[in-house]
Amino acid sequence: MYDHILVPVSYHEDRDAAGALAIARKLVNKGGRITLLHVMEEVPAYAVAYMPEDFRRQSAAAIATDLKSRIAGIAEADVAVVEGHAGRTIPEWAEAKGADCIVIASHRPGISDYFLGSTAARVVRHAKCAVHVIR
C-alpha cells in the first residue's frame, strides 16, 4: 500500500472525487496520509479586470473549506489549493511533497481527448509515482 496518497479534486460534474477518496482510503497504509488537492487554473488576463480584487483568495478559501468537509473524520488527511495548470501541477506537487500514489478521477474520453489529452492522461504520463485512475 501507500504512505502518502494525493487525490486531485476537480469540480467538473463528471469527476468522481468521492469515489477517488474512497479508493485512497482503502489504499493508504495505517498511519499514512491522504491529501486532497485542487488546482486553480489561470484566469485569462482579459477576464481578471472584471473580477473583484480578492476573487482568487476568496475562491481558494471556499475551495479549501469544501475540501476540508470532504475529509472530516479521516485521520491524517489534509487539503491543498494551488494555482497552475492541472496536468503539470499535479505531478509536480506529488513529487515535491513526496506522494507515492495519485488517485485521480477521470471522465470517459471523447474525440477531443485524443488530440488534446485529458488531465488524468497527462498525470499518468508525467507522474513519477503510482497513479490509479477511476471512472
Q: Which residue has the cell 468521492?
A: 18
Kind plus residue range of the DSSP H or E element containing 32:
strand 28-40
How many domains does the chain contain in total? 1
CATH for 117: 3.40.50.620
Domain that holds residue 45: 2-134
Q: Residue 118: what pLDDT?
A: 85
Q: Which amino acid is at 36?
A: L
Low-confidence ranges of the chain (pLDDT < 70): 14, 108-117
Kind plus residue range of the DSSP H or E element containing 9:
none
Q: Residue 110: what pLDDT?
A: 60
Q: Which residue has the cell 487554473?
A: 41
- 27-62 per-position pLDDT tens digit: 999 999 999 999 999 888 888 888 888 999 999 999
Q: Residue 115: what pLDDT?
A: 45
Q: What is the mean pLDDT of the chain?
A: 90
